[in-house]
Amino acid sequence: MNTKELDAEYVLPTYARTDIEFVKGKNATLWDKEGRKYIDFTSGIAVVSVGHGNERLSNALCEQAKKIIHISNLYYIEPQARAAQKLVETSGYDMKCFFGNSGAEANEGAIKIARKYGEVDGEIKRYKIITLKHSFHGRTITTVKATGQEKMHNYFGPFPDGFVYAENIDAIESLVDDHTVGVMIELVQGEGGVEPLEKTKVQQLAKRLKERDVLLIVDEVQTGVYRTGEFLASNLYEIEPDIITLAKGVGGGVPVGVVMTSKKDVFTAGDHGSTFGGNYLSSTAVCEVMDILNEAKEKGELERTIKYFDAALETFYEENSHIFTKKVGIGMMAGLRCRDAETLSQVINESRAAGVMVLKAGRNTLRLLPPLTISKKEIDEGFEALRSAVAGL
């Protein structure tokens, strides 16, 4: 049987798969098994931050795999400690890290820290967490409930109590009560339509939450690791969250989730754990990804790439204002609002046929999340393919 037949026979049908099988990648370029080339404006949904087939990352992983891949968190793990140091020092915040395997796990950890913080003398005094409508925080039972999209809540209840949804950032403070322990937000909503929150409103909210001793949890699973141009969107918004979650791009394709928090003493031994989290292989990936991207930031390469990509996107948007109604996003987390859902579906299908990979997001948004190392040549080729894709619409 071929891959498609094996998948149909043995893999649960939780994904509406596109009928393409990729076999090789180099930076922002992919090739399928027929040898056809595609420009990747998705980076595996913001995961392949340093590009496909990155030699530095693959060499670091190979060298580590020859020694130890996994030993468990019952022992000290040198690359895990170094990865935590790199994350904390680059963030500029006084925090400590916990390593898991995914964004949902990171958000679960954040929720557990907040819930324990809300306890007094072993009694749960504060437990409610406010999130935003259109948010997305994961697919576990708890993070599905934390997600402010009703369509995500079908079938899987009963859910854990204690999640409250604000219509928008202006409504959050009015929902805080004596049982509220935290507010969890994405500074740029990803699945919700690449929608940035207003900076001044976020800063005002952060100030008022601190005054009321309500924890600010920022979900940076998609916005983190230089996706917005700064290491964290929190840095860009000039706020100091109590808890930050990372995943996706932090491992460059190796599964990693991270909780960072200034509440260093809330968790004690036995409160939380992960068999695989932060093992030798995954934390080695974090160290190398951080080194690669920190160097790109320091040399100005990242800023130049973002400016070039944004200018190309702006030109494409202006050329096709009959199809797209608004340009949204920050940095390399970009989107174009489409006139309607049917047109968006056509754009995505035609783009694939033209040789460029793109994504959809809520609110009829075409989502673009290229590798942070994408070259000017790949950007040019990608937008030429997009022009070809929308030419007949």
Q: What is the pLDDT of residues 307-333, one digit of tens each?
A: 999 999 999 999 999 999 999 999 999
Q: Which of 29-38, 135-144, 148-157 has the lowest mean pLDDT?
A: 148-157
Count Cα atoms within 13 angstroms, Cβ side, for 344: 20
Contact 237, 199 (CB under 8 A): yes
- Residues 156-161 have a mean pLDDT of 92
The candidate with the shortest Cα–Cα distance to 101, out of 262, 216, 188, 221, is: 221
> Is 63 part of a structural domain of the chain?
no
pLDDT at 123 over 90: no
> Is 84 part of a structural domain of the chain?
yes
Bridge pairing between strands 356-357 and 37-40: parallel
> Is 264 part of a structural domain of the chain?
yes
CATH number where 47 lies: 3.90.1150.10
Domain count, the chain: 2
Contact 114, 215 (CB under 8 A): yes
> Is 61 part of a structural domain of the chain?
no
Together in a domain, 276 and 373:
no
Instruction: Count the helices and strands in the chain (H runs, E runs).
Output: 13, 19
Of 248, 269, 298, which closes a domain? 298
pTM of the predicted model over 0.75: yes
CA distances from 35 to 28, 29, 74, 84 (A): 16, 12, 46, 40
Together in a domain, 254 and 334:
no
The candidate with the shortest Cα–Cα distance to 83, out of 320, 287, 223, 245, is: 287
Interior angle at CA 40, CA 196 and CA 226, nearest 5: 40
Interior angle at CA 391, CA 385 and CA 393, nearest 5: 125
Together in a domain, 31 and 146:
no
Together in a domain, 320 and 374:
yes
User: Given this model, what pLDDT does residue 89 score?
Assistant: 98
> Is 59 part of a structural domain of the chain?
no
Together in a domain, 38 and 106:
no
Of the two residues 55 and 156, the one the predictor is more confident about is 55
Start-to-end CA distance of the chain, whole Å, equals 38
DSSP state of 360: E
Phi, psi of 234 (to 5 degrees): -60, -40
User: Given this model, what pLDDT does residue 299 score?
Assistant: 98
pLDDT at 81 over 70: yes
- Residues 111-120 have a mean pLDDT of 93
Together in a domain, 158 and 263:
yes
Q: What is the per-residue pLDDT across 219-250, written as a single tens digit (0 to 9) for each? A: 999 999 999 999 999 999 999 999 999 999 99
Alpha helices, H only, 122-275: 141-146, 172-175, 199-211, 233-237
User: What is the share, in percent, of the chain residues with pLDDT greater than 70?
Assistant: 99
User: Given this model, what pLDDT does residue 237 score?
Assistant: 98
Distance of alpha carbon 171 from alpha carbon 166, whole angstroms:
6
User: Given this model, what pLDDT does residue 9 score?
Assistant: 96
Distance of alpha carbon 245 from alpha carbon 94, whole angstroms:
15
Distance of alpha carbon 54 from alpha carbon 50, whole angstroms:
7
Contact 287, 83 (CB under 8 A): yes
pLDDT confidence tier of residue 393, bands split at 50, 70 and 90? confident
Together in a domain, 89 and 41:
no
The candidate with the shortest Cα–Cα distance to 100, out of 80, 125, 119, is: 80
Together in a domain, 111 and 193:
yes
User: What is the share, in percent, of the chain residues with pLDDT greater than 90?
Assistant: 95
Q: What is the per-residue pLDDT across 353-385, written as a single tens digit (0 to 9) for each? A: 999 999 999 889 999 999 999 999 999 999 999
Give 45: exposed, middle or buried? Use CB within 10 Å, 0-12, 13-18, 19+. middle
Together in a domain, 89 and 148:
yes
Beta bridge partners of 228: none
Q: What is the per-residue pLDDT across 167-202, written as a single tens digit (0 to 9) for each? A: 999 999 999 999 999 999 999 999 889 999 999 999
User: Given this model, what pLDDT does residue 122 score?
Assistant: 67
Domain that holds residue 129: 68-298
Together in a domain, 294 and 343:
no
